[in-house]
Amino acid sequence: MPAAPSSIRLGFVHADTGTRQRLALQQYLTENDIQCEAIALSAADLEQGLLHGDIELGLRPLERLPLQLPDKLCITALSERDNPADQLIYLSQTKGPLLLGLPQDARVGVPDLRAKFLLLHFRPDLKCTRLPEGFTEPATLLENQEFEALLLPARALPSDPSNPFSVQELNPQEFVPKAGQGVWAFLAHTDNKSIRRWAQQSLHRPDTAELTNVERSVQKQLPPELQSSLGVYCRKDQNAHFHAYAVCQGASKLQFARFSSSTTLGLAEELVRGLVKLV
């Protein structure tokens, strides 16, 4: 087992809304006698902090990371997968009788094109608007009546039970999330081998990587014009079989592909073939 560091400077991005994950990590470090200084940074400053040695580890949601990281940065560990689902949140009095519980022509704030196309697939009447990058107060947008509902990844919802909104979780096998959603990535400088070895041994979850490797492989192989609307999700059942689901926007409609296998070998390629063939 690599020697544990005596202290770690951990960079995080406040807009990632990963308070629960960050606090759990800080508690783990404290319990293992590792002093942790958590530093809130912008995404760009977090990368620079790692490159210049101002912080040892960076914590980011995997779905927010590009396939190609800046030179000298790497993903050194992945967390256990938390809830991968998207969740629809709305004020309790907003709920209606239609599919997804939203009234006719409801205004919905969405995080990306994938979410917009999926919502419109199930409810073509909805008015979907892209949410501003890095917003952190979903309740404010609802209370100000800018939207009737917001669609957000589960990690982005505050866990405060006093929040005034209702939550409807969407099945990730149907409302397919972004690649890596629900997983946190630990970033490090490629030359910081002692931290990388320690993180690999102490923080990394190979069972998570087994699934996200499939998802990000689909992302890499899909033609660029389809990537912005891509959703892809892989899970492993109790019999050790893998089930993968993917979606993207084609020329005229949303395309779905799914595939099951006893191995991850070739699983990403099957999904890509299915999507491209349908498009």
139-160 pLDDT, tens digit each:
778 888 889 999 999 888 766 6
Going by pLDDT thresholds of 50, 70 and 90, the confidence category of residue 15 is confident
Average pLDDT over residues 176-190: 97
- Higher-pLDDT residue of 167, 84: 84
CA dihedral 125, 131, 136, 142 (to 10 degrees): -30
- Higher-pLDDT residue of 17, 71: 71
Average pLDDT, the chain: 91
pLDDT at 278: 60
Model confidence pLDDT, tens digit, residues 46-55: 999 999 999 9
Going by pLDDT thresholds of 50, 70 and 90, the confidence category of residue 248 is very high
User: Domains in the chain, start-ordered, CATH in brackets?
Assistant: 7-81+182-204 (3.40.190.10), 86-169 (3.40.190.10), 216-278 (3.30.160)
What residues contact 112, with CB distance under 8 A and at least 6 apart?
130, 178, 228
Whole-prediction pTM value? 0.92
CA nearest neighbour of 261 among 236, 278, 238:
236
Contact 236, 242 (CB under 8 A): yes
What residues contact 272, with CB distance under 8 A and at least 6 apart?
218, 221, 222, 246
Average pLDDT over residues 123-132: 93
- pLDDT over threshold 90, residue 188: yes
- pLDDT over threshold 70, residue 60: yes
Average pLDDT over residues 173-200: 97
CA distance readout (Å), 237 to 8, 156, 211, 244, 267: 36, 26, 12, 11, 15
pLDDT at 143: 81
Average pLDDT over residues 229-258: 94
Percentage of residues of the chain with pLDDT beyond 90:
70
- pLDDT over threshold 60, residue 279: no
